[in-house]
Amino acid sequence: MNIRTKVKLSFVVVIAMLLFLGGISAIITYQIKENNTFRENISSILLMQEGMNDIILESTKLTDALKLEQLHTEFVMYEKNFEDLRTILSTHAHTSTLNTFIVNMREDKMIQNYLNALYANEHRIELMYSALFNLEREKLDYVTIFNALYPEENRARLEIQEHLLHNNHLAQIKALSDLRYYSKETLYQHGNEATLQKWLAPINELLDATVNETEGDLHENLLYYKEVVGIIAEKAISIERTKAIENETITEASNVLDENKNVSLALEKTISQLSNEFIDQMRLIQLFVGIATIVFIVLLALKVSRNVSLSMDEVEAKIEEGLQEVNALNQEIEDTQKEVIFTMGAIGESRSRETGNHVKRVAEYSKILALHYGLDEEEAEMLKLASPMHDIGKIGIPDRVLNKPGRFDEEERAIMDTHAMLGYEMLKYSTRPLLKIAAIVAKEHHEKYDGTGYPEQKSGEEIHVYGRITALADVFDALGSERVYKSAWDDEKIFALFQSERGKHFDPKLVDIFFEHLDEFLHVREQMRD
C-alpha cells in the first residue's frame, strides 16, 4: 500500500473519530432533554395527587349534593389524566439502536420502585375518595332528614312540656328537664348510642307515668315523640360517625401526600445521580477519543513529513485544521450545556407567564453588578449563566397560585415562598460549578439585607454575594416589567424604592453601584425589551 493510500485511509479514520465525538455530543444533549421530560412528568404526578387531596378535603365541607357531584367529576378527570401520564411513563422506550448508547432511567430498578410507590399511593387516594364520596352522599341524606325532623322534634317536645307544666307533677317535670338536656347532648354534642339511651330514659319514664291517664292526649304525644326521637337520633349518630371517618380519611390522605413528597425527593436524587454518572462516562469517552484523534493526527503528520514532499507549513496546516474541528466540537458541547441551563431557567419563568427576555436581562444585570463589585471576568460570566435559574423552583408551584391575577392570601404566599427551596433542592446535588452557583442563586435571591427575607432569614454578608446580586437584578427588572398581577413601574418610582431599601432589602454597596452605572442597566433594558 503506497503512502498516498495510507494518508487517505488515515483521514477517513480521523473523520470517523470526529463524527464519533459529534455523536457523543448529541447523546449527551438527548439525555439531558430526556431527564428534564422525566422530571416534569414526576412533578405533574405530584401536582395531580395534591389536587386529589384538595378534593378529598373540600368534599368533607360541602352541604350541597350538586357541588359534591361537580367535585366528583373533577376527581375522575384527575384519575384519567393520571392514568394517561402513567401510560406514557410505562410505555416509553428507546429504539433498539438508542438503547445501545442511552441510559433508560425507567428501567432502573430503584426508579421503578419509586414510581411503583407513587402509583400505589395514587391508588390508595382513589380508594379513599371512592369510599368518602359514597359516605358524603349518605351524610347529605342524613343532614337533609335531620334538618327536616328537628323542627318537628322541637314542636313535639314543647307540646309535651306545656302538658307537664300544666299538670305540675314534680317527678314528671324533673324527667322533662332531663329530656331537654339529653336532647341537646345527643343532637349537637355527643352523637352516640350511650347519650341516646340517656335521652330515651326520661321519655320511657314519662310514658310509664302517663299510661293510665284518661284526660288529654299526653301519652299519645309521648309515643309520637319517642318515634321522632328514634329517627332523628339515628341520623345524628350517623352524621357523627361520618365525621370521624372523614377525619381519619383526611389524616391518611395527608400522610400519603407527605410520603409522596419524600419519594419524589429520593427519585430526583436518583435521577440526578444516574444522569451525572452517564454524562461523566460519555465525557470520559469523548476525552479519550479526542486525545486519540489528536495523537493520530500528530502521528499522521510525522508519517507524512517523512514520506512525502509536503512542506512543514502544509503539515502544520493539516494538524491545525483537525485541532480546530476538535475544539469546535468541544465548544459545541459547552454551548449546549449553557443553552440547556438557560432553557431550564426560562421554563420556570414561562410557567408564571413571564417572557424569556426577563431571565436574559437579569443575567446581563447580574454580570454588570458582579464586575463592578469586584468579581473577576470568569466568575462574573459564571453568575450570568447561572442567574437565569433563580426561579427554577416555580415549576413546583401550582398554576392556581403561580398565575393568580392579584395579591396572594397567606396560604398562597406561603406556597409561593417555597419556590426558593424547591429550586435549591433541584440543583444542590450537582457537582458542576455552574449548577452549584445556580443552586445558591435559587435559594438566596429572596433573602434581604436586613434579615427579613426568606427562606432562611439571612442578613448582611451572611447572604452569598451571588444571592445579593441576583436579588437586586431580579427586582429591578420585575418592577419595570408588566406582570399578570401588576403594571410596570416608572423609573422614578423604582429609583425611589431602591434608595429607601438601601441597607434593608438590598446590599447598600450594590445599590451605590447600580446608581453609579445606571446608564449601563438602562442600555441593556432598552436593547432587550419584551
Q: Is residue 433 part of a domain?
A: yes
Work out the average pLDDT over 373-401: 92
Q: Which among 285, 300, 315 is the end of a domain?
A: 300
The percent of the chain in helix, strand and coil, each rounded to the nearest 5, is 80, 0, 20
Of residues 422 and 93, the one with the higher pLDDT is 422
For residue 202, the domain's CATH number is: 1.20.58.920
Number of domains in the chain: 2
Task: Give the pLDDT band (50/70/90) at residue 57.
Answer: confident
Q: Is residue 441 part of a domain?
A: yes
> Mind listing the pLDDT tens digit for each residue in 238-251?
888 888 888 888 78
Domain that holds residue 182: 3-89+110-300
Phi/psi for 310 (5° steps) reads -85, 145
Contact 178, 151 (CB under 8 A): no
Query: What's the pLDDT at 100?
Result: 53
> Mind listing the pLDDT tens digit for each residue in 398-450?
988 888 877 889 999 999 899 999 999 999 898 889 999 999 999 999 999 99
Q: Cell numbers 445556580 label which residue? A: 438
Work out the average pLDDT over 196-212: 86
Task: Give the pLDDT band (50/70/90) at residue 216.
Answer: low
User: Cα(195)–Cα(185) distance, rounded to whole angstroms?
Assistant: 7
> Mind listing the pLDDT tens digit for each residue in 105-153?
667 788 788 788 888 888 888 888 888 888 888 888 878 888 888 898 8
Q: Is residue 34 part of a domain?
A: yes
> Mind listing the pLDDT tens digit for each residue in 263-291?
778 777 877 777 777 777 777 887 877 88
For residue 506, the domain's CATH number is: 1.10.3210.10
Q: Which among 269, 284, 300 is the end of a domain?
A: 300
Alpha-helix residue ranges (DSSP H) falling in 374-432:
377-386, 399-402, 410-416, 419-427
> Is residue 293 domain-shared with residue 360, that is, in the same domain?
no
